[in-house]
Structure 1
Amino acid sequence: MNELEKNLNIPKIALGVWAWGSGAVGGDQVFGNHMGADELRPVFQKALDEGLNLWDTAAVYGMGASETMLGDFVKDVPRESLLLSTKFTPQIAEEVENPGEKMIAGSFERLHTDVIDIYWIHNPADVAKWTPELIPLAKSGKVKYIGVSNHNLAEIQLANQILAEEGLKVSALQNHYSLLHRSSEDAGILEFAKENGMTFFSYMVLEQGALSGNYDTAHPFPTGSDRAEAYNNSLPQLETLIQAMADMAKKYQGTVAQIAIAWAIAKGTVPIVGVTKVNQVEDAAHAATINLTSEEITQLEKLADQTKVNTLRNWEKPMA
């Protein structure tokens, strides 16, 4: 257990709210969701009941809409009962003297807080330029831990070097990582994280639902969303893998989604699971109790490789 995990007492699973809210890069465009506070408040409350208190969002999701929705619930509970993770996105940084200070001020206002537990640089647009923006935020106590997302190994090392010169470090990594997308493992990033006391957060472990068991050729993703365009053509290739996951789920009295999540935990990562329904929170909570065998992990990875499905998305690059 590293410093971040010990001091924050993080749960095995983080909950993502990319799909909360609407607007540019928001829940309606990316996921085809149209949900309001009445539908999402029970989801938030169920998570608290289950001890899943780490919430991951970003200023760019819905251009603040995701943070605003989450913040409406955050303000009604003791701040110390939650862990908040949000992101500095270089592409929406304003041309002001301190763009990092400016962006986090907006996140503070929307999330009803004055400190972020894990603050991320969302992508490596220019590591040398943007990494220093988080230094004053960490030194002033506005940010407890610094993370980098969608960075390759060389970019992670550069960011860590820049921070080390100021007595700081990269404490967390967050990359797309799933049964169908293991490039961070192939590139040695998971091993690097372990060796350097960094927590690896895996996002899209369910491939936005493609590995949930809820979608197949007879039940494709609703048209009009990014995920429909990304995954619907690949659903036939996933059938054998999904069936094996379903068979495995029976052993653990679980679901296909829980097997995908349990795999990510078994690989030493903290999966970020997007939740918009109460049963998805329940899925996540049960997944944290499933301990897959090494044989099962090998079987899942072999079948995943055999699908030949490429899930690299338009905002990311190959890590290896």
Structure 2
Amino acid sequence: MATEHKKEAQIALGTWSWGVGGFAGGNVVFGNELDTEDLKSVFAEALSSGLNVFDTAYAYANGESERILGELAADYDRSQLVISDKFTPGMQDDTAPDPVEAMLTGSLKRLGTDYIDIYWIHNAADVERWTPYLANLVKSGRVRRIGVSNHSLEQVKRVQEILAPSGIKLAAVQNHFSLLYRNSLTDGLLDYCKENAIDFFAYMVLEQGALSGKYDEDHLLPADSNRGKTYNPLFPSLKDLLAKLRALADDYQVTPAQIATAWAIGRGTRPILGVTKVEQVQDALKASELSLTAAELDALEELAAASGVDTRGGWEGEA
């Protein structure tokens, strides 16, 4: 099926912190209680800046993030928006003949659209079970492209094999990727994606703020927060890397967070940055326009490697 060409922003805007509800709502994970009215100016700023890729999931507040995104998008030209949404294994309706289609149908209704630009399998809980459902969604026109998230290189290859008889190809991978977790560089996944024209979306590029430049061993994250418990013990080891991020930020007249984001772009990925404020959209735009030299990219990686820090998440399964 032919689809219209859209210019897609180099950075995707994440909506995980939008909405209240469920085990992964913005109120639970981020301490936010944001609804449509709170985000109208953020959404308007994004589109006026050309940042038109929005990443959501049913898992984010049990569909509330989708609802909010749909209500915000209703006042704009759908053909200019790129909506990225996910089927989350473990949250499916097993009474449905096709649990993937059932979740997609609910998502489409909440988003107020008849198609999703990129529809992802959110985790690799059962590649053999869930992958075969994807091809028919593309053939029906309700999904334009297929992606997989939190899949290893071998799992991505297996997805390609499963899809091959249908003539449908995997279009995107979405994985944890940052200066502190470069697994997709070292295991060959990023190279595989480049060789096979698969877009690579990078999440946790700023490691929940640890690479934002706002925090270090003298300026800790809230001690009782999950991210504080994870990252505060790591800051002494990150001293040299954070100093380099700040030095480059001074050189380019940007923030350390924008340098860390530009590094991910420089390695051929599309970072996903969560946004709840207008200034965060403006920061994302500036990061998308920043280009680091090859020497600067290498220097950052060398310092990251020397730190000995690896922020692999427990949800990420086998390498």
Q: TM-score, structure 1 length as denominator?
A: 0.94
**SS in structure 1 of the partner of residue 113 of structure 2:** coil
Superposition CA RMSD, Å: 1.8
> For 2:68 and 2:52, how far apart are their aligned partners in 1?
16
**SS in structure 1 of the partner of residue 103 of structure 2:** helix
> For 2:28 and 2:185, how far apart are their aligned partners in 1?
30
> For 1:49 and 1:226, how far apart are their aligned partners in 2?
35
Letter paired with 2:11: I
> For 1:114 and 1:61, how far apart are their aligned partners in 2?
20
Tell me the equivalent position of 2:8: 10
**SS in structure 1 of the partner of residue 18 of structure 2:** coil
Runs of 5+ consecutive residues of structure 1 not aligned to the other structure: none
| Structure 1 residue 224 displacement after superposition | 5.1
Letter paired with 1:252: Y
Tell me the equivalent position of 1:58: 57
Tell me the equivalent position of 2:88: 89
Tell me the equivalent position of 1:212: 212
Deviations 1:247-280 (A, max 9, x none): 1011111111110111011101111111112111
Tell me the equivalent position of 2:264: 264
Larger RCO (CA within 8 A; separation ≥ 6)? 1
Trace 1:146-165 onto structure 2 (pairs within 5 A): 146-165=146-165
| Structure 1 residue 36 displacement after superposition | 3.4
* Structure-2 change in CA distance of 1:90 and 1:47 (3 Å): same
Letter paired with 2:45: K
Tell me the equivalent position of 1:143: 143
Trace 1:154-303 onto structure 2 (pairs within 5 A): 154-222=154-222, 225-303=225-303
Q: Is the 8 A contact 1:31 1:227 kept in 2?
A: no
Deviations 1:43-70 (A, max 9, x none): 1111111100000011111121221222
> For 2:283 and 2:106, how far apart are their aligned partners in 1?
32
Tell me the equivalent position of 1:113: 113
* Structure-2 change in CA distance of 1:175 and 1:279 (3 Å): same
| Structure 1 residue 166 displacement after superposition | 0.5
Trace 1:71-86 onto structure 2 (pairs within 5 A): 71-86=70-85
| Runs of 4+ off more than 4 Å | none
Letter paired with 1:273: L
| Structure 1 residue 159 displacement after superposition | 0.7
Q: Is the 8 A contact 1:64 1:110 kept in 2?
A: yes
| Structure 1 residue 218 displacement after superposition | 4.1
| Structure 1 residue 318 displacement after superposition | 4.8
* Structure-2 change in CA distance of 1:161 and 1:17 (3 Å): same
Letter paired with 2:140: S
Tell me the equivalent position of 1:48: 47
Letter paired with 2:167: G
Q: TM-score, structure 2 length as denominator?
A: 0.94
> For 1:41 and 1:257, how far apart are their aligned partners in 2?
24
After the TM superposition, which of the residue ranges 277-286 and 49-58 deviates more from structure 2? 277-286
Letter paired with 2:193: A
Count of residue correspondences: 316
Letter paired with 1:84: I
Q: Is the 8 A contact 2:202 2:264 kept in 1?
A: yes
**SS in structure 2 of the partner of residue 19 of structure 1:** coil
Q: Is the 8 A contact 1:15 1:54 kept in 2?
A: yes
**SS in structure 1 of the partner of residue 202 of structure 2:** strand
Trace 1:97-108 onto structure 2 (pairs within 5 A): 97-108=97-108
| Structure 1 residue 8 displacement after superposition | 3.5
Letter paired with 1:146: I
| Structure 1 residue 208 displacement after superposition | 1.6
After the TM superposition, which of the residue ranges 31-40 and 42-51 deviates more from structure 2? 31-40
> For 1:182 and 1:47, how far apart are their aligned partners in 2?
28
